[in-house]
Structure 1
Amino acid sequence: MGQYLVYLVEDEQNLSEVLKAYLEKEGWEVRVFNDGDAARDAIEDKPHLWILDIMLPGTDGYQLLKGIKENGDTPVIFISARDQDLDRVLGLEMGSDDYLAKPFLPQELIIRAKKLINRVYGSASQDQKKIELNQYLIDPVGRTVVDSEVSEEEIVDLTTKEMDLILLLTGEIGKAFSREKIIEHVWGENYFGSERAVDDVVRRVRKKMPRIHLETLYGYGYRVLSS
C-alpha cells in the first residue's frame, strides 16, 4: 500500500500506543494526538487518514470531523465507547467513512483502515492509463482530473467521493452502474444511508465537469458515455 500518513486522535495513552504500533507495522507513518485541540491545529496537514475517538479533552471528535470535512474530504474512521448506534448514525451523517465501537481488537482497526485506504488511494493499479474524455484528462493513479480546455495545468477540484465516482464510471465507458453498486464502491459496504447521496455527488460532478456526458438511467443508476 505504500507510505501513508495516519493521524490518530486518542486520549487513552495505553490504547494509542498499542494502535500506533499496529499501524506502523503496516509501514504507515503515524502521528498521535492525545487531545482534540492539538489535532484541530493539524487539520490543514491533510494526512491520508484520520482515526478519531469521539470523547476527547478539548475539541471533541464531532467538532474535529466537521473541521476535517470542511477542509477537504480526507477519510475518517470514528471510534467510540459511548452509545454505539447514536454515534454511528451521527458520525456517518457528518461524513465519517467508517465506525468502530470500543472495545475492539487492534487488528480489526487495521483491516478497516487498509480497506478504506485501498478504496480511496490504492484502487488504481500503476499500469492504468490516463483517460481522455471531452478534453478532460483523468489520471486513475494520481487521482486527478485536468481540464485541458482551460489549461493543461487546470486541475478540477473534486472531493474523494466525486473522484471515486468519476473513476468508477469512466473506467468502463458506457457501462451502467446501479446506485447500489455506486454506493458500495464510493461509500463502502458499511454505508446505510439514503441512495440520494449518490444523486448529490452526481449533481456536483456534473457542475464541476459539465462536458462529461453522465447519463441518468431512471430507476436504476448512471453511466458515462463517450460523447
Structure 2
Amino acid sequence: MLRESLAEQSMAVEIAGDGRAMDEHMRASSFDLIVLDIMLPGEDGLSICRRLRAKGNLPILMLTSLGDDIDRILGLELGADDYVTKPFVLRELVARIKGLLRRAAYEAGPEPPRSRFIRFEGWTIDMIKRQVHDAAGARVAMTTHELDLLVAFCRNAGRTLTREQLLAATHAGLAGPTERSVDVHIRRLRQKMESDPRNPVLIRTVRLGGYMFTARVEESHD
C-alpha cells in the first residue's frame, strides 16, 4: 500500500521485508533514500541504521510505532536524518521524504551554493558534493541534518544561534522534530569534530542561549 501511494507521487520504490532483502536490493540498484522501520524480523532497524550510516550519507527516515522518545532519539544518535511515528498521514511522510531529498541535493535544480568550499581549522566542506573532509584530508560521513547544522554554524561563526534557529536550518519548516533533536545532532557533530567532545572548543554551548561556532571561517569557489 505504501509503495503504491508513493508511486502516485512519482517515486520509484522497492520493498524489503528485512535487512538481508534490503542488502540485496542495494547491491542491485542505487537509491536516493531509505525509509526504515525499527521493528523488523532478524536485524532490527536501529542496527541497520548504524551500519548504513557507517557506509555513507544516504538519507534515512525512520518509521516507529513506539511511543517512547528514547527510541527516536537513539535513532537520531545512530545517524537517522528524520523519523515519523506510526500511524502517520501519508501527506506528512511524503513531505518529509521530499524535504530530505531536497536537502541532500537529489532533486533537480537545487539552489546553487554561494561558494563551492567552506574552510575552517583545516576542515573543508564541499558544498556541491556535500562532503566534509577533516584536517588530514579524510572524508567524514555526516547526515544531511548534521551537514546543514555545520553549514549554518559556519555562516554564523561567532554568533549565538538558538535551538529554534538551528531547527529551522535543518528541518526547513517541517512539523514534528523538536528542539531536543538539535542537541542530538550537535552531540554527534562534536563526536566527529572535537578532539575532546566533553570539552568542546569548536561548538560551544551558550548558557540560556543556544550554541556558538568559534572557528574562523573562509569561503571560496576554488
Same fold (TM over 0.5): yes
Q: Which has the higher contact order (CA 8 A, sep 6+)?
A: 2
Q: How far off its partner does 1:101 sit?
A: 1.2
In 1, Cα distance between equivalents of 2:8 and 2:44: 24
The 1:29/1:205 distance shift into structure 2, 3 A limit, reads: farther
Structure number having the greater strand percentage:
1
Aligned to 1:92: 73
Q: Give the letter aligned to residue 101 of structure 1.
A: K
Instruction: State how far apart, in whole Å, the 1-side matches of 2:73 and 2:131 are.
Output: 26
After superposition, the Cα gap between the structure-2 partners of 1:46 and 1:201, relative to the gap in structure 1 and judged at 3 Å, is: farther
CA contact (8 A) 1:100 1:109 kept: no
Name the CA shift for 1:66/1:19 in 2 (closer, same or farther; >3 Å). Answer: farther
Extract unaligned runs of 5+ from structure 1.
1-14
> So what's the TM-score if we normalise by structure 2?
0.66
Contact 2:158–2:213 at 8 Å: present in 1 too? yes
Q: What does residue 9 of structure 1 align with?
A: none
| Contact 2:57-2:141 within 8 A present in 1 as well | no
Contact residue 217 and residue 223 of structure 1 kept, 8 A: no
Q: CA deviation at 1:60?
A: 3.9
Matched-pair contact (CA < 8 Å) for 1:52–1:79? yes
2:178 corresponding residue in structure 1: 191
Unmatched segments (≥5 aa) in structure 2:
218-222
Q: Please tell me whether the aligned partners of residues 120 and 164 of structure 1 are also in contact (alpha carbons under 8 angstroms).
A: no
Task: Give the counterpart letter for 1:140 in structure 2.
Answer: M
What RMSD in Å do the two structures reach over aligned CA positions?
Answer: 3.7
Q: How many positions carry a matched residue from both structures?
A: 198
Distance (Å, rounded) in 2 between the aligned partners of 1:74 and 1:200: 17
TM-superposed deviation, 1:132: 3.9
Q: Identify the match of residue 108 of structure 1 among 92, 98, 110.
A: 92
CA deviations 1:46-69 (Å, max 9, x no partner) are 743211234444444344334323
Task: Give the corresponding residue for 1:206.
Answer: 194
Percent identical pairs in the alignment equals 20
Q: Which residue of 1 aligns with 2:36?
A: 52
Aligned AA for 2:216?
A: S
- Indicate yes or no: 2:128 matched with 1:145: no
Q: Is the 2:157–2:212 contact (alpha carbons within 8 Å) kept by the matching residues of 1?
A: no
Q: 1:199 to 1:67 in 2, by over 3 A?
A: closer
Q: Report the AA paired with residue 18 of structure 1.
A: E
User: 1:175 and 1:122, CA in 2 relative to 1: closer, same or farther beyond 3 A?
Assistant: farther
Q: Quote the Cα distance in structure 2 between the aligned partners of 1:51 and 1:190.
A: 16
Give the match's secondary structure for 1:32: coil
Map of 1:118-129 to 2, 5 A cutoff?
118-121=102-105, 125-129=111-115
Q: Distance between the aligned counterparts of 2:178 and 2:167, measured in 1?
A: 7
* Residue in structure 2 matching 1:159, options 112, 129, 142: 142
